Amino acid sequence: MRLDSRRDGAAASRLRLWDLPTRLFHWTLVVLVAIAFVSGFKGGNGMDIHGKAGIGIAGLLAFRLVWGFAGSTYARFASFVRGPAVIRTYLRGEWHGVGHNPLGALSVLALLGLLAFQVGTGLFGNDDIAFNGPLQALAGKDTSDLLTGLHRKSLWLLLALVGLHVAAIGYYARAKKENLVRPMITGWTDAPPEGARPASGGGVLAFLFAVAVGLLAACAASGAFLPPPPPPAASSPDW
Ligand code: HEM
Ligand code: HEM
């Protein structure tokens, strides 16, 4: 059985572009990243939820990594990561493919990479008050402080990239009259180019495997596999 398979007899003018797992990944990611930003800037008692959102993002990123190889056609990295020649073709307005365009693919990779960096630095970070990232003990205080500094800088780059991402989608909607958001919600794109092939792959087993890797990554990020801290040294009473 295929997850989200294309219905036979569906209008040829429509194409199943984004499979359900890719869409669920995207919108869950948006919610968790928004929570991470709000709770991070709030600080204090917001840090607990900040850490949890970050661990969830770690799981999502691991899921997407696997889905980039095991997912359906247009979710696979091989279908949208292209070399400079294809990017030049796109810039000349001569690219007529389906899915992430060759330039958009770079921003997808940059977003995923920067999110991984943000999560990675956060897991080893500390807020100098009451919150330590779940893997902070592995880093030691100096390295943890260094990574926390990077975490606080890279978040601005991430914010800029998200802004660019949303602006690019707005540009497509207004200037090119192309609604990219609808396919990310419904999965379907209207009027695909001539010869676009139906998506295949991304079956239930592949999905379960990707979910298992995502869950494992979230557990690892939460520190669940770290040895328990040593018990506090028995102190002798003062008398
Ligand atoms: C925290 C904010 C966001 C992040 C981190 C983010 C991240 C991403 C990523 C990683 C992808 C690639 C999807 C994949 O192949 O797995 C993507 C695609 C996409 N995102 Fe977002 N996104 C954000 C906000 C939004 C918002 C607010 C919208 C709607 C206005 C949106 C609309 C889309 C669309 C339409 C695509 C597909 C683009 C295409 O057709 O090539 N995103 N986003
Ligand atoms: C994409 C995911 C993440 C985003 C967008 C994000 C964003 C932020 C933001 C906006 C701040 C506030 C910085 C400031 O006030 O200058 C912050 C601080 C912090 N974050 Fe994250 N974060 C993410 C993931 C994580 C994770 C997974 C952890 C650990 C579990 C973490 C741990 C921390 C710590 C310890 C601080 C406090 C830094 C300080 O007070 O100097 N973050 N983060």
What three-state secondary structure class fits 126?
Answer: strand
pLDDT above 80: residue 126? yes
16: β partners? 188
pLDDT band of 95, cuts 50, 70, 90: very high
Q: What is the whole-number distance in angstroms between the Cα of residue 160 and the centre of ligand 2?
A: 16
Whose alpha carbon is nearest atom 43 of ligand 1? 26
Domain residue spans of the chain? 15-191+199-221
Q: What is the whole-number distance in angstroms between the Cα of residue 108 and the centre of ligand 1?
A: 8
% of the chain surpassing 90 pLDDT:
85
Whose alpha carbon is nearest atom 39 of ligand 2? 127
- The reported pTM is 0.92
- What's domain 15-191+199-221's superfamily in CATH? Transmembrane di-heme cytochromes, Chain C (1.20.950.20)
Q: Of 10, 20, 37, which Cα lies nearest the Cα of 151?
A: 37
Q: Please check whether residue 102 is in contact with residue 95, taking contact to mean a CB–CB distance below 8 angstroms.
A: yes
Mutation test residue for ligand 1: of 165, 174, 186, 188, the one with most atoms within 8 Å of CB: 165
Q: Please check whether residue 15 is in contact with residue 99, taking contact to mean a CB–CB distance below 8 angstroms.
A: no
pLDDT band of 24, cuts 50, 70, 90: very high
pLDDT band of 57, cuts 50, 70, 90: very high
203: β partners? 2
Residues with CB under 6 A from ligand 2: 33, 36-37, 40-41, 43, 50-51, 54, 57, 115, 118-119, 122-123, 125-127, 131, 133-134, 148, 151-152, 155, 158
pLDDT above 90: residue 11? no
